[in-house]
Amino acid sequence: MRQGFIGLFIALAAAVWCVPASAQEWPSRPVRIIVPFPPGQAADIIARLLAEKLGPALGQQVIVDNRPGAGASLGTELGAKAAPDGYTFLAGGSAALAINPHLYPKIGYDTPRDFAPITQLVAIAYVFVVNASSSAHNMKDFIALAKKRPGELNYGSSGNGSTSHLVSAALASRAGVQLSHIPYKGAVPALTDLMAGQLAMVAETPPTVLPHIQSGKLKPIATSLAQRIPQLPNVATVGEQSIPGFDLSTWTSLVAPTGTPNAILDRMSAEAMRIIALPEVNKRLVEIGFIPVGNSRREFGAFLAAEYASWQKIVQASGAKVD
């Protein structure tokens, strides 16, 4: 029996000895989360909520480092090329990690190769909205109208190859209708033209469209996730109304450069999951218009791989190209 305990002790000691010194001592200095967007955007808001709670848990300052540019590719590339020592993480979103690699002919990172998944922080649905005076009261009505007038109905987006563009293109493809795409430089001018009656539809996120829905200027006809969203519980999903299995969203996650020690990845995943589950954080995220997630490394890894493959097909089918 005593020999058994001695053997167990030796095995445990060996396991601890094998953990890299950087993981044992981590963190011994401030930790950085790169946000590839300007301050105030979704990924920045989420990263700052996370950093506020993460700092005390780790015993070190957690710095949010905004590095916008090139459709989020600039900051994402910076994250990919950072030292895998546990002191640099990336608030990576669907556009940067799952869409841009298929959209840009030259990009300075490879998602499956360069990033280690930690957790998906939030999902953000898209809301399909029409002008308040539109004859379409739901997605079934809109699709029926589009089938009667092929190619005549136009939809706006926040830019060619943007998620709002690709979500609408995927809807048209799966519904078997022809819609005309009009890209804008951002969501605001697209929604302005929609309210003026110059567009038939726009798909945008809840924080962007909710004020216009509440004012009565826009009418929601569907949401893009598989489940209804808490911000619009009475609005049916696309899947419920017209296209079973339709489940598209934008999202923000936490990833690290490949090669970051597993012990550090595990700790960050556990802390992030705990923070996302805190009632005050959960409530705040829902109020802003997000869906809190906070899944495990394995769950997020499987999700990221599926999203990478799914958006590749959507980008190819849309014909979207960005130089």
**Tens digit of each residue's pLDDT (9 = 90 or more) over 178-216:** 999 999 999 999 999 999 999 999 999 999 999 999 999
Angle, alpha carbons 246-301-49 (nearest 5°): 85
Amino acid letter at 83? A
Best CA proximity match to 186, nearest among 215, 156, 213: 156
What is the pLDDT, as a whole number, of residue 19? 43
User: Could you count the other beta carbons within 10 Å of the beta carbon of residue 158?
Assistant: 23
DSSP letters for 238-304: HHHHT-TT----EEEEEEEETT--HHHHHHHHHHHHHHHHSHHHHHHHHHHT-EE----HHHHHHHH
Q: Among residues of the chain, what percentage have pLDDT more than 90?
A: 87
Mean pLDDT of 286-303: 96
Output 31 or 323, whichever has higher pLDDT.
31
What is the pLDDT, as a whole number, of residue 214? 96
Average pLDDT score over the chain: 92
Mean pLDDT of 300-310: 97
What is the pLDDT, as a whole number, of residue 23? 54
- CB burial readout 231-267, b (16+ within 10 A) else e: bbeebbbbbbbbbeebbbbbbbbbbbbeebbeebbeb
Domains (range + CATH), the chain: 31-123+249-318 (3.40.190.150), 127-241 (3.40.190.10)
Residue 202: in which H helix or E strand, if any?
A: strand 201-204
Mean pLDDT of 146-162: 95
Q: Is pLDDT at 12 greater than 70 in this prediction?
A: no
CA distance 245 to 310: 13
Say if strands 88-93 and 250-257 run parallel, antiparallel, or are unpaired: antiparallel
Q: Can you count the helices (H) and strands (E) in the chain?
A: 15, 11
CA distance 91 to 288: 18
Mean pLDDT of 172-181: 96
Output 35 or 321, whichever has higher pLDDT.
35
Strand order in the sheet with 127-131: 180-183, 154-157, 201-204, 127-131, 218-223
**Tens digit of each residue's pLDDT (9 = 90 or more) over 25-82:** 899 999 999 999 999 888 999 999 999 999 999 999 999 999 998 889 999 999 999 9
Q: Is pLDDT at 6 greater than 60 in this prediction?
A: no
**Tens digit of each residue's pLDDT (9 = 90 or more) over 104-123:** 888 999 999 999 999 999 99
pLDDT band at residue 14, thresholds of 50, 70 and 90?
very low
Q: Is pLDDT at 135 greater than 50 in this prediction?
A: yes
**Tens digit of each residue's pLDDT (9 = 90 or more) over 210-247:** 999 999 999 999 999 999 999 999 999 999 998 999 99
Q: What is the CA radius of gyration of the chain?
A: 22
Whether this prediction's pTM lies above 0.75 is answered by: yes
